[in-house]
Amino acid sequence: MRINKPSLIFFLLISVLFFNSCAGHKSKRSRTETVIKKARSYTGTPYKWGGTTRSGMDCSGLLLNSFNAINYKIPRTSAEQSKIGKKVAKSDIKPGDLVFFATGKKKRKITHVGLVTEVRGKDNIKFIHASSSVGVTESNLASNYYKKRFRMARRVL
């Protein structure tokens, strides 16, 4: 059987489109939504330093578990997590970005991390994190407490 050139090109184009959009391939947006959904599933989990389970977890443990939902491995601590991905300007923060804070005595040392869940303007950026006082919760980056302690944002997906 002889195949003409235009038919072969059409077949190859359709094949490429099909295999690039197969069910196993998730878009960046879909992966971000999966990570956020997983993080939100831990809402109300109590805080436990070094914890990674529903009985108690810390901020970096929350992100570790959330990114595991898409088989994306990230480091264990917030300080290590602050070194992955690319730095993002505060004005360019998007859902799925990581936000880092210095909550200890040293104003430059990263001690806390959260995952951006919603952006509705520069003064309405919500992030989920494990707070030592209330456990896994969502907060606003514009709140006085977090605004003062914010150090950077990074995009890993």
pLDDT at 1 over 90: no
Cross-strand bridge partners of residue 88: 153
Catalytic residue among 129, 139, 146, 153, which?
129
pLDDT category of residue 58 using cuts at 50, 70 and 90: very high
Q: Is residue 80 part of a domain?
A: yes
- Domain around 123: 26-155
Which residues, 6+ apart, have CB-to-CB distance to 131 below 8 Å?
A: 47, 137, 139
Confidence (pLDDT) at 21 = 40
Q: Is residue 74 part of a domain?
A: yes
Q: Which helix (H) or strand (E) holds 120?
A: none
Active site residue 22: no
Confidence (pLDDT) at 4 = 57
Active site residue 129: yes
Chain-centre distance of CA 66, in angstroms? 8
Catalytic residue among 62, 64, 82, 112, which?
112
Average pLDDT over the chain, rounded to whole? 89
Q: Is residue 112 part of a domain?
A: yes
In CATH, what number is assigned to the domain containing residue 130?
Answer: 3.90.1720.10
CB atoms within 10 A of CB 64: 18
Min mean pLDDT across 1-5, 85-89, 116-120, 131-135 is at 1-5
Q: What single letter denotes the amino acid at residue 2?
A: R
User: Which of left, alpha, beta for 16 (phi over 0: left; psi -120 to 50: alpha)?
Assistant: alpha
Catalytic residue among 59, 115, 130, 136, which?
59
Q: Is residue 111 part of a domain?
A: yes
Number of domains in the chain: 1
Q: Is residue 6 part of a domain?
A: no
Interatomic CA distance for residues 40 and 152, integer angstroms? 22
Cα radius of gyration rounded to whole Å, the chain: 20
Q: Is residue 8 part of a domain?
A: no
pLDDT tens, residue by residue, 7-45: 544 444 444 334 444 444 579 899 999 999 999 999 999
Q: Is residue 2 part of a domain?
A: no
Q: Is residue 17 part of a domain?
A: no
Confidence (pLDDT) at 109 = 96
Active site residue 112: yes
Confidence (pLDDT) at 6 = 53
Interatomic CA distance for residues 122 and 130, integer angstroms? 22
